Structures are given as C-alpha cells and as structure tokens.
Amino acid sequence: MTEHAPLELRDASLSYGERTVWSDLDLTLHPGDFLTVLGPNGSGKTSLLRAVLGLQPLSGGTLSILGRPARRGSKDVGYIPQQRLIDPATPVRARDLVRMGIDGDRWGPGRHSHRERVDELLAAVGASSYADVPLGMLSGGEQQRVRIAQALGTRPGILLCDEPLLSLDLRHQHEVTALIHETRRATGTAVVFVTHEINPVLPWTDRVLYLAPAGHAIGTPDEVLTSANLTSLYGTPVEVLHSQGRVLIVGGDEHTHHVDEAGE
Ligand SMILES: Nc1ncnc2c1ncn2[C@@H]1O[C@H](COP(=O)(O)OP(=O)(O)OP(=O)(O)O)[C@@H](O)[C@H]1O
C-alpha cells in the first residue's frame, strides 16, 4: 500500500473572480514536516488554509490530504485559529473545548469513553491543572494550549496554525511553538504554520513557503530568505540580515515583518 502524503498540491492555483492570488503551487508535505508560510498582507496565506480546510475550491490543479480531496470538517485536518481572547463569562471549561475537538461540535454530556482521551490531550499540552477552569479565566497562553489540544483531538495528519502567536508575549510564543514542534515529533502530524514573524518558528521550520505578489518560493529558510529572492518576489529592493540566529527583513512590505521584542 502506498503511503499518502499529509498534504499534496500539484500545479495549484486559487482565484477570486478575475484576481489570481497564487498559481503554479507544487508542494508535498511528509509526516512530521514543519512548513512555515510567510508573505505580506493579501498574499493568500489564509486562502491556502481555507483551501486545505475544504472551504475554498482551487481554481486549478489539485490538492489532496492523505490521498483524498479536501473536505469541510475532515478529521484529518486540525486547525488552530488566531489567538482571540475568550469572553470571561463563558461557562465552557478547557476540557469541554477539547472534547468538542474529538466529538465535533456536538454539545451535551461528554461520552464517558472520551474522558481518558481528553485527559491525555490536556496532559500532552501541559494544561491538566486548569482542565476544569472556564476558558475565559485562562491567560492567552493557557487558552492557546487548550486550542492546540482541541485541534489534536482527532489525531489529524496535518495541523494548520493560523498566526497562533498573535498577542502572546515572547515566553508564551516560545512555549506554544515548542509544543507544536514536540507534537509533530511525537505524532508525525505535519504542520503548516502561517505567520508574519519567522523568528519564533525559525528553529523548528523545515521549509518556508513565501507567498508574494510576484510569485512564490519554497525551500529551506536559508534558501528562500535571501536578499536576491525577496527582492525578486517583491519587485523592490529587500535586504535580509542575519543576527544572532535571527532573521531581519528590511524593505518590501516592511510592516508585515514585525521585529519581536527580543531584538536588540
Ligand atoms: N472571499 C473572498 N472574495 C474575494 N476576495 C477575497 C476573498 N477572500 C480573500 N480575498 C482576497 O484575496 C487576497 C488574499 O487574501 P488572504 O486573506 O488569503 O491573504 P493573507 O495573506 O492571509 O492576508 P493577511 O496577511 O492580511 O491575513 C486578498 O486580496 C483578499 O482581499
């Protein structure tokens, strides 16, 4: 039996009406791969996630997940949304949210058989001690851990992360990215991580997909993040600087490359 890749795109393109967001995209993710998706506002990063989630059809080419077409609600795809703080008044507890990741969005009393799995998922993300606390009372970093546990509920082959670090401080950014890295090592889940800031995920990134108005580039961070490459992708001078293991991109659409507060 052939092993199917968690994600395969062949000659893929995505358009909204007349506007083509990206095209000629060829990409194969293997189990455990960590792909970081970068690009300026409007370059189609979210659209790529929506295509993998089965919410947005391609306008050309093919996309398959473990050998099957993308499908809305697929248990093969886990999704961690952008960090949004939850209403402090919500009665939903951490363990309820994680159970919804296993059950789908069905409410009602938890099925007893899932209790162990929920406990296991909460423990894997270090959230056992606040399993019964309402979500709205947790810190942003704690909420994001619970969302990771929820996304892993169905043991997905691919984990989509949509800027999950927004509004987290540096320590929590590091904890969340390290957790996602450990998860893909332990479970073989391939990771697609959309972000405006490469540095928090640079240590874990196997390959970068850089989407830009003039095209895209795929390769290791060293291959893709060069002044020559980005200058050609943006069509305007861009300089890539390296300092103490961090990457700083100057020029292009500068405001899309936040320099985190660790920068000197
Ligand atoms: N449903 C839609 N109908 C028409 N155009 C759309 C739709 N969704 C997105 N677009 C357009 O497609 C382009 C890509 O949008 P997308 O949200 O994928 O970019 P992005 O890289 O995620 O941007 P950002 O970094 O700002 O989140 C944008 O120009 C956007 O306006």
Q: How far is the CA of 43 from the centre of ligand 1 (A)?
A: 7
ipTM of the complex: 0.97
Domain ranges for the chain, please list them.
7-256
- Interval 92-137: pLDDT, tens: 999 999 998 887 654 445 555 588 889 988 988 889 999 999 999 9
State whether the beta carbon of 213 lies less than 6 angstroms from ligand 1. Answer: no
The span from the CA of 46 to the CA of 112, in Å, is 36
Please tell me the pTM assigned to this model.
Answer: 0.89
What percentage of the chain reaches a pLDDT higher than 70? 91
Amino acid code (one letter) for 91: P
pLDDT digits (tens, 9 = 90+) for 174-193: 888 998 998 899 999 999 99
- Among 36, 47, 48, 195, the mutation site with the greatest number of ligand 1 atoms within 8 A of its Cβ is 47
**Highest CATH level, class, for 7-256:** alpha beta
